[in-house]
Amino acid sequence: MTTSLLSNVLAVVKENPRSGQALLLFALCKTLEIEKGGHMYLLVKLREMTPENRQLAYGLMEYMAEGQVGNTEWLAMVSEMENLIRG
């Protein structure tokens, strides 16, 4: 599931890196990296996601709950997301 989840999130960003959906997922990923900040993500933002992307967001939250944020796969995904979004 892990690789599939991260691949699916990355696919959304690759499809249209500057879309609202890509940016919402990117913001969630960056927020999940900030443990000391209590992972402060406005849950109301979930309303702005498509149902499919909301499922990805829930998966990312589960990934964080399992203590996987910051592993090699995660860091590679976020780095690629940053590169795509920055252009």
Average pLDDT, integer, range 36-57: 85
User: Per-residue pLDDT for 44 more than 60?
Assistant: yes
69: nearest Cα among 26, 41, 44, 35: 35
**pLDDT surpasses 60 at 1:** no
Phi-psi region of 39 (alpha: psi -120 to 50; beta: other; left: phi over 0): left
Residue ranges of domains in the chain: 2-81
pLDDT for residue 39:
63
What's the pLDDT at 42? 77
**79 HSE (CA, 13 A, CB side):** 7
